[in-house]
A and B are shown apart, each in its own frame.
Chain A
Amino acid sequence: AQSVSQHNHHVILSEAASLELGCNYSYGGTVNLFWYVQYPGQHLQLLLKYFSGDPLVKGIKGFEAEFIKSKFSFNLRKPSVQWSDTAEYFCAVKANAGNMLTFGGGTRLMVKP
């Protein structure tokens, strides 16, 4: 069974700092990769996705993620965070051969103004 690991459970940054949230998955085959964000009091929203092609994916609000197949990783990055980026971020993986979307445990990001 596939699994997803997000090693940083809590991250605290000051505004304008750079962000990188780690995501590693365990599945040897072809995968679809996702980052979802949950702002306080709101529902899960898709931030970006990778299906195929360019491994550097750009999403909404200045976020991007890089798929590194050899490292089984899909880390989320943003060069300069804002207070409004305070949220919980979830990495998710779907094996191409299956139907199930497997989520990581989430990373809670707090950005100090």
Chain B
Amino acid sequence: EAGVAQSPRYKIIEKRQSVAFWCNPISGHATLYWYQQILGQGPKLLIQFQNNGVVDDSQLPKDRFSAERLKGVDSTLKIQPAKLEDSAVYLCASSAHGLPQFFGPGTRLTVL
């Protein structure tokens, strides 16, 4: 069974630039999650989708972060404009019927 795919694996941008991350969940998984993992900390949930609807985005900084899952499969997470403190690993996870969640390899973002 293929796992959760994410791209790119690494991204370096300057502050105030925009960036987008892509996630392809495990086939058949209705629930998709985006997490932010700052160095030395545990992952923090940014947004959770159930199919193409948002279940929880209470911790998403909506002034600069946006996410969509238009067809209920792939998802993109965008940051516009990026700040230095956005440097982190962005993890995508998916699950069927709730938990447990399966994680992708993450995208490591460095904002200079």
Contact = CB atoms under 8 A, between A and B. Distances in A.
* Same assembly: yes
Contacts, number: 49
Interface residues of A, number: 22
Interface of B is mostly: loop
A45 B41 contact: no
A92 B103 CA distance: 14
Interface residues of B, number: 22
Nearest to A103: B42
A44 B101 CA distance: 10
A43 B9 CA distance: 12
A99 interface: yes
B42 A105 contact: yes
A105 B44 CA distance: 10
Contacts of B33: 101
A100 B104 contact: no
Interface of A is mostly: strand
Contacts of A103: 42-44
Given A44-B91, A49-B99, A4 B42 contact: yes
27 contacts: A6-B42, A34-B99, A34-B100, A36-B103, A43-B3, A43-B105, A43-B106, A44-B43, A44-B91, A44-B93, A44-B103, A49-B99, A90-B43, A99-B48, A99-B56, A100-B48, A100-B56, A101-B45, A101-B99, A101-B101, A102-B45, A103-B43, A105-B40, A105-B42, A106-B40, A106-B41, A106-B42
